[in-house]
Amino acid sequence: MEKEHKLNTKFTIKINMRKKCLTLFVSFISVIAYSQIGDNANTQTGVSTERFPVFPNCQNLESASLERCFYNEVQDFVFQNFVVPETLLKNDFHGSVKVLFEVDTNGLFKVIYVNAVDDELIQEAKRVFGKFPKISPSTFNGKEVYSRYNIAISIPLKSSETITSEALAKAELKPSSTSKRTELDSIVYKKFANPELQSHLNIPFSHSYYSQFDAAMNQVGSNNHTASKPYTYQEVSKYYDIKKANENLKLKASNWWARKLWNENMVEIQGDGYWFTLNPIVDLQVGKASQSDVSYTYVNTRALNFRGGIGKQLNFTTTVFESQGRFADYFNRYAESIAPAGGNPAIIPGIGIAKDFKTNSYDFPLAEANITFAPSKNIDLQLGYGRNFIGDGYRSLLEGDGASPYPYFKINTNFWKIKYTNTYMWLKDVRPEVTLERTYATKFMANHYLSWNVSNKLNIGLFESVIWTNTNDRGFDLSFVNPIIFYRSVEFASSARTGNALLGFSYKYKWSNQVNFYGQFLLDEFSLGDIKKGDNSWKSKYGYQLGAKYYNAFKIDNLLLQLEYNHVRPYVYSHSVPITNYGHNNQSIGHQWGGNFKEFIAIARYHKGRFFGDAKVTTGTRGLDFNTNTDKFNYGGDIYKDYDENRPFDSGVKVGQGNKTAVFIADVQAGYLINPTTNLKLYASYIYRSFDPTQNTISTFTQSTNWFSIGLRTDVFNWYFDY
């Protein structure tokens, strides 16, 4: 039996070609997927149904008998009703027509795609399948489900009996050494069962999304580690069933477009030992901001995300973003204040370098990627281009995600009560002072974080980081490759003040399943003699964080309340050699505000079904530089200034020194989760910002901003507008 005459039920890529308005991209994916199916007609599709569709002549049959009967009925109906165009008969045409079709939940046949050399054949195939009688649909666990198949209609036409006879005849023939291989035809596709949710792949880090399973991850007695982010799906799946949560949010949708919009990935493939998903990503915002020179604000982001797994150990994801936009005036000014060398007007915080786009807008492309290999249950290795975060709070003093993405290599090791995270990063300094021949300066960073569950309630973490540059062709210093070495000692022995080391400490105490306390301490520089003097020496470069979370607050399910206080002294994150500061792309890798500030944050997050709401209030005091002709002192807020130059005081150094500025930001957001699988959200947001310095300067002045936005966003990273 010729392969092109057989039914094939291996196809699971849910791409509907019925609508002529499908984009070229989706059409391309469909054609490629279809070409991989082959023509083997006697293999079940990836839609794992408990029972095949049932024709009247196939009643009371089960299993393989029902399967064969279904194939024969389809083949015979086509044989009896298909009319070969006269022109092709005259030319003695030999070939085939490939038809991809669906039996929906009502038992109706629907043509999805037809591949033929002649348009008349395509139209005839559609006509014939439109005549199929209504039958009993496939069932899965007793519930009606749609199922998909393909058939190759041979020209000249053949009945099922003829095909069976030919198959028996061929089976009796001794295979020739030159026979055609059928490896591609034997590939079997399975029903997509969301293997991603059990994989070692990173869950995109979004504060709003992570809050949904934060309570489950912080139960008293659990032996997990919540500070090192992003989490992997495998880490979370032990404590929170994302698949079940998504199933509970599923909307009833029968057609392909509805399923893709409300419930599923755009493209999803699963086979024996591998899976892939492909999704478009959007971030479409439009708004209005006061105190602005433009009539409206907007973000126009189009992106494509490709994720997958090969075997149980290897997973990957890659996303390509293309974005344009303009923001509220205060955010635009900050983006332009950290502009790189070379004529680009700005760096969009958390995104990267931007170029001019039309009038008063920016074009800011972005790419992110991650490959994870888990050789054992205790270790996973990650090679990525993105951001990382260490902490249990909204902010991190140790390592935050407010800076632009960067290349990194990460090692996560889990055993006993320990999680040990090593991260090696390649960073950039884009200031004109260190840019040579239009090439930005490279710097390197290595850090390690040891998380230890001391008891059922207490977790402590130890953090160390070191940053160095390519001075004297030092390159990536292999001295720091050893994952268990003490960085500060190595840096002292390897260089003469060309590196910058920081130490940190974190804690989390689970008072109960509802109440957690957390905090951090960062030590940038330490002088015991100066501390003993008690004169607030500038060398006392440290910061600390205190925070608390209240889950299911006031017995309201899914209500999270959070309070957080951050205090960072002047000159923290800076260095005597600015290139070795704690920064990347003119942004702090720690707290986004840099140094010399104190901040209080109150957050409320709530979700019910697909509806959600977030509210955040930030109030703080920042000590900024005046940057005037009469006052050019470095007061310790700008981490890209040499702390040995223009320092106004050696003692009596306090938070808020310089141009003391009061900051108040209220941020309210509410919306509807359109698709829980892709985290696509429809939302509206309102931001009120008050910025009140002691002295107005050209770059720092009193301003109040009201910023209202609505948007459609795939929530896969954090936007920070609280500057």
pLDDT digits (tens, 9 = 90+) for 632-671: 999 999 999 999 999 999 999 999 999 999 999 999 999 9
Contact predicate 32/196, CB 8 Å: no
pLDDT-based confidence at residue 35 (cuts at 50, 70, 90): very low
pLDDT-based confidence at residue 22 (cuts at 50, 70, 90): very low
Average pLDDT over residues 429-452: 95
Mind listing the pLDDT tens digit for each residue in 532-563? 677 899 999 999 999 999 999 999 999 999 99
The rounded distance, in Å, linking the Cα atoms of 572 and 643 is 9
pLDDT-based confidence at residue 186 (cuts at 50, 70, 90): low
Contacts of 592 (CB under 8 A, 6+ apart): 349, 395, 400, 402, 720, 722, 723
DSSP E strand boundaries for 116-195: 138-140, 143-145, 147-155
pLDDT higher than threshold 50 for residue 524: yes
Burial pattern 442-466, b for ≥16 Cβ within 10 A else e, equals ebbbbbbbbbebeeeeebebebbbb
Contact predicate 304/280, CB 8 Å: yes
pLDDT score for 528: 66
pLDDT, greater one: 176 or 149: 149
DSSP E strand boundaries for 28-80: none
The rounded mean pLDDT for the chain is 88
The rounded distance, in Å, linking the Cα atoms of 266 and 15 is 8
Average pLDDT over residues 359-372: 96
The rounded distance, in Å, linking the Cα atoms of 158 and 76 is 8
pLDDT score for 396: 98
pLDDT, greater one: 294 or 278: 278
Please state which of the ranges 27-41, 301-315, 451-465 shows the lowest mean pLDDT.
27-41
531 secondary structure, DSSP code: H
Average pLDDT over residues 128-145: 88
The rounded distance, in Å, linking the Cα atoms of 692 and 264 is 47
CA angle, 234 as apex, 229 and 236 as ends, to 5°?
Answer: 60
What global pTM score does this model have?
Answer: 0.79
Q: Name the residue with tokens 């024996």.
A: 272
Contacts of 188 (CB under 8 A, 6+ apart): 10, 43, 44, 46, 271, 272
pLDDT-based confidence at residue 492 (cuts at 50, 70, 90): low
pLDDT-based confidence at residue 481 (cuts at 50, 70, 90): confident
Mind listing the pLDDT tens digit for each residue in 585-599? 999 999 999 999 999
pLDDT higher than threshold 80 for residue 474: no
Nearest to 624 by CA among 612, 641, 611: 641
Mind listing the pLDDT tens digit for each residue in 229-265? 999 999 999 999 999 999 999 998 878 899 999 999 9
pLDDT higher than threshold 60 for residue 357: yes
Length of the chain: 723
pLDDT higher than threshold 60 for residue 48: no
pLDDT higher than threshold 90 for residue 439: yes
Contacts of 68 (CB under 8 A, 6+ apart): none
Average pLDDT over residues 164-179: 64
Contact predicate 482/422, CB 8 Å: no
Pairing of strands 441-453, 418-429: antiparallel
How many other β-carbons are positioned within 10 Å of the β-carbon of residue 131?
Answer: 10
The rounded distance, in Å, linking the Cα atoms of 533 and 515 is 39
